[in-house]
Amino acid sequence: MSKAASRHVVLAVLADGKPRTSRSIGRTVGLSKAASYSVLRRCWESGLVLRTKNPLYEPEKISKGRRGVAQHVRSYHLYALRPKGIDNIRIEGQEFVKFSKKYLDVRGGGAKSKAEIILDFLRTKSEKAWFSKEIAEALKHKDVKVCDVMANVRRFEERGFVYVRGYKLEERQTPFKEGYLVTWINQEKPREEAIEDAIQKTDRALENKRSDSPFVDRVHRTRDVIIEHSKLRRLVSFGYIYEKLGCSEYEAEHALTRTLQLYPDLKEVKLFDAYRYFYHISLSNEDLNAAIKMKENYIRMVKGRANRIGHNWEAVAEWFIDRFTVGAHFWTQNHRTEGMDPRRITLHLIRGVRGRRNAAEVDRVWEVTPGVFAPSVSYVLSCKWGLVRKEDVDDFFEVLRWSKEFGADTPDGRQTKQGVYGVFAGQAFNPKENLRLKNDITISLASYAARMNIQLLKAVDFNDKLRGRGCPKVVTVQRICRIAKDEKEVREVLDAIWENSSAAEEILEKVAMSNESIYRFERMLNKE
């Protein structure tokens, strides 16, 4: 078909006044996509048709055969027959204009694409390496974004135009904090020499920046901390390493595990089967034994305050449960350890849970019978003085479902028995810890616990009860836990302020004065 004939049939299609795309016109008259677009472009330039001022966008799926279906966003224009003497019109909310260079876009071949802009930048600024964020910042006046940079840079890399550098891991590459580092490969030099030159440019860019991956850096720093303490004839705890790394606890644990795997000269010793310490084999046996004895003595004394407050927190939760639960009957158990609260219950495990082989302790267990003919409902309490995380809730749930008393085998696996509910009392629950489900729905820690029939109780819930009773704001359950000498005194203090809320602050001050010797001793131990 000649150009004149093609133009004639295209204009005949647009004669009804309805705007159309070049693709739809091509299908109507039997022209290819390229041919129909070429005809419409000539008609627009010659003033026979008008085109939308701005492109339109729509998602499009393209079959790739065995590779599946690719989805992208397609941009296109609409064309309409130009009325005589009219340069622009508006149809169905879209503005149609006559040909002008200012309306040319990348699709029309009249302007540089973002890919060309980025490539020109790297070619003209080839004397150094650039981070992707720096490139986007330098070209933001041309509407170039960070996502535009790397989408095009990867294509340039495949064609051998640029060298891209990031954190090198075993099987993949990840970006630096400022993004990937990109530099132009000189096409006029021999390939080997050009690549070596590109690597040197990235080295210079990284001279004042950390060039290892964050994980590798944490491994090296962990090793340095352990060796440093060993030179001082000391053991170092996981808590100290965690604080030094300045990362999440999970990241610190991962780095420590990997450090021990990579460096067999670093060793771990567990004191009282609970507290982990680390040292270097350069520490002599005499110094190691002396360091262990010092740490054991320190743990015996200093951890006493933490245990006191932790047990007091259990008594607080128990007191409020007993006060506000009608018909609650607490389990009791005799223990070999003298002074251990009989309301602390040891459960029998049929499978080990996180280092506990045959037994696990829970803080309280109580039963409530709703009616004469209704079955009893069992509640199991676990307390933690501090920030509660997902792993704490998971650990509690594992203990319940693998315990002989509260777990049962079902067709869906091991589950807690019907009528058994977990209650987790924590000083506070991590508000930043959200859980992402398989369907990409994000839920809070409280919602996650509720799905497992675990109720979360917070210190603020107990304090609200005290406020409702008329206690001043300075009287809190946290303060009661810190000043009371034991669980018995916690119950006595709560009874007293509940009966006489107006004198609650004076009651706490008297208790604090009577226990001053305990606080003085604990402060002395902390200094040691």
pLDDT value at residue 347: 92
Residues 350-364 pLDDT 10s = 988 877 778 888 989
267 in Cβ contact with 281 (< 8 Å):
yes
Is residue 83 within 8 Å of residue 89, measured between CB atoms?
yes
pLDDT at residue 214 in the model: 77
- In sequence order, what are the beta bridge partners of 163? 183
Q: Which residue has the tokens 């004198």?
A: 503
Q: What average pLDDT score do residues 127-139 get? A: 90
Q: Which amino acid is at 197?
A: D
Residue 173 parent element (H or E): strand 173-174
Tens of pLDDT, residue by residue over 240-271, are 888 888 887 778 888 898 888 888 889 999 88
- The Cα–Cα gap between 284 and 288 comes to 6
483 in Cβ contact with 501 (< 8 Å)? no
**Antiparallel, parallel or unpaired: β 454-458 and 420-429:** parallel
Report the pLDDT value the prediction gives residue 492, as an integer from 0 to 100: 93
205-219, 382-396, 467-481, range with the lowest pLDDT: 205-219
Query: In the predicted model, what is the mean pLDDT of residues 3-12?
Result: 85
- Using an 8 Å Cβ cutoff, are 406 and 417 in contact? yes
**Secondary structure class of 476 (helix, strand, coil):** coil
- Token pair for residue 185? 């490969």
Measured CA to CA, the distance from residue 362 to residue 400 in angstroms comes to 9
Please give the pLDDT value at position 176.
Answer: 77
Q: What pLDDT score was predicted for residue 111?
A: 61
- Cβ–Cβ < 8 Å for 507, 500: yes
Sheet holding 130-131, edge to edge: 130-131, 181-184, 162-165
Both tokens of residue 404? 């002989």
Structure tokens at 394: 């998971």
Instruction: Give the separation between CA 203 and CA 211, rounded to whole angstroms.
Output: 9
Q: Which of 300 and 122 is assigned the larger pLDDT?
A: 122
pLDDT tens string 149-175? 888 888 898 888 999 987 665 456 677
Residues 86, 88, 93: CA angle, nearest 5 degrees: 135
Establish how many alpha carbons lie within 13 A of residue 338's alpha carbon, considering only the half-sphere containing its beta carbon. Answer: 0
* Choice between 411 and 71, residue whose per-residue pLDDT is larger: 411
Could you give the domains of the chain? 3-108 (1.10.10), 114-205 (1.10.10.10), 214-283 (1.10.10.10), 325-458 (3.40.1350)
Q: Please, what's the largest Cα pairwise distance for the chain?
A: 107
The whole-chain average pLDDT of the chain stands at 84
pLDDT higher than threshold 90 for residue 216: no
Q: Can you tell me the mean pLDDT for 32-48?
A: 88
The C-alpha angle with vertex 444 and arms to 443 and 448, in degrees rounded to 5, equals 80
